[in-house]
Amino acid sequence: MSRAVPRSLAARLLDDYDRSLDRAGFCGARLAERLETISRIGLTENGGSNRPGFSEAERQAKDLACDWMRVAGMSVTQDAAGNRFGRLAGRDENLPAVMCGSHVDSVPDGGHFDGVLGVVLAIEAVEMWSAAGVTPLRPYEVAIFSDEEGSRFNLGLLGSGAMVGRHTQDELERLRDQDGRTFSSVVDAAGLPVPNFPQAQRDMSSIDSYVEVHIEQGRVLEREGLGLGVVSGICGLVGLEISVRGVAGHAGATPMPHRQDALVSASRMVVAINTLPGQFSATAVATVGQLNVLPNGANVIPGEVRFSVDIRDVAAGPLAALAERIVATTVQIAKADQVELSWSQVFSVPPTPVDPALVAVQEAAMAELGLPPFALPSGAGHDAMLIGAHAPMAMFFVRSRDGVSHNPREYSSLNDCAQAAHALSRTLTSLVNDPASPDEKQRRLHNV
Ligand SMILES: [Zn+2]
């Protein structure tokens, strides 16, 4: 009996590909082939990707993309964090560069589009310029950031974080991976000069703007019937830990009116929290994802429940107001139920706005292609999030089939990827040929 050989990713992508999208130097077959070639590195039994940050598989995927960049006429460098940069010289090398990129690491059994699509499309833009005989005015850089997913140290965005000076070496040294290995030993094994990791910090005035294409990892675009969207902002998040204390007791010996059941009160809180985000903004979300019931016995009335609340929104005001209301609501329920409540804020990350001048360029590019410039927020963090705090930033989202991500079933059609290539290339072409500084662009935007 022979097992069916799984069809190659490239063959599946090309199956329903609309070849009229092969124009302006874009080549669907090349994109499909590149996605497939990277997908073979760290391929899992389930047909997924396993390329943790600082692994041999991540390095191989970076090497491969760097080969493509060299062939496309870019010079390639690596910084102290293992980030790779391909640079295409501009006609005026004194101007700050336009940067575009993403990552090639993955979660342990991830998909073949998360991160990789952004890197491959950033390179495709150079292929398209080369076919059109275009030399950009500004230098252009493709960035491949190390360990975006954070599956190694449970701390993501390490490469882009190093570029913007997010962590000191001391902070990094405290990290341990799942096998208890220190940051130094992991980074050393990856062939990077260990104590120099923070030297990857870059003078951010050398970057004019940063654009990233990423799969949506949700179902908003699919529900809208759209292949491509413009990201309206990257959500900030507030993490709360709430503890409800009632009285534990025997499940048989305590009559119902005498109970202070912490789980019943916590359940009321969970239901109440679920109704609140819509009152603050259309994009706000709140999730109770972790619940610890104590003592967690089948015949014991729960004495204590600790639960997490993950609150996100693209706008700082509604985010803070929602977090406050969630706390106030739980306090109210605890009072009514006569249980004790304590809470703490475990983390808070402000939203990262996208740059309005860049968004105007993205929307113009989509309009030229006859695509509606649909805007949607990013609920997940991306390398763009850290860079956006230091340089003008914008993102495109590509439709994810069934909204599935971080899973071998992750898929985006080649037609959607091709539309993204065309919109990205037009956006980047405008940016690399615009000599105006970010300030001048803002003034221009507001004078229109
Ligand atoms: Zn990603």
Q: How far is the CA of 316 from the centre of ligand 1 (A)?
A: 23
Q: How far is the CA of 374 from the centre of ligand 1 (A)?
A: 21
- pLDDT computed for residue 193 by the predictor: 78
Three-state DSSP class for 160? helix
| All structural domains of the chain with their residue ranges | 9-234+352-447, 236-349
State percent of the chain over pLDDT 70. 98
- Looking at domain 9-234+352-447, which CATH architecture does it have? 3-Layer(aba) Sandwich (3.40)
Q: List the one residue out of 376, 375, 366, 373 whose CA is nearest residue 419.
A: 366
Q: How far is the CA of 98 from the centre of ligand 1 (A)?
A: 20
Lowest model confidence (mean pLDDT) among 93-102, 171-180, 318-327, 352-361: 171-180
CATH of domain 236-349: 3.30.70.360
The model carries a pTM of: 0.89
Tokens of 316: 């700082």
pLDDT surpasses 80 at 368: yes
Identity of residue 447 = N
Burial of 137 (0-12, 13-18, 19+ CB in 10 A): middle
Residue 414 φ/ψ, nearest 5 degrees: -65, -30
pLDDT bucket at 4, cuts 50 / 70 / 90? low
Report the distance separating Cα 332 and Cα 350, nearest Å.
27
Q: How far is the CA of 115 from the centre of ligand 1 (A)?
A: 4
pLDDT surpasses 80 at 7: no
Q: What is the mean pLDDT of residues 391-402?
A: 97
- pLDDT computed for residue 345 by the predictor: 94
Report the distance separating Cα 130 and Cα 124, nearest Å.
10
- pLDDT computed for residue 19 by the predictor: 97
pLDDT surpasses 90 at 142: yes
Q: How far is the CA of 349 from the centre of ligand 1 (A)?
A: 18
Question: What is the chain's mean pLDDT, rounded?
Answer: 94
Instruction: State the DSSP code for 266.
Output: H
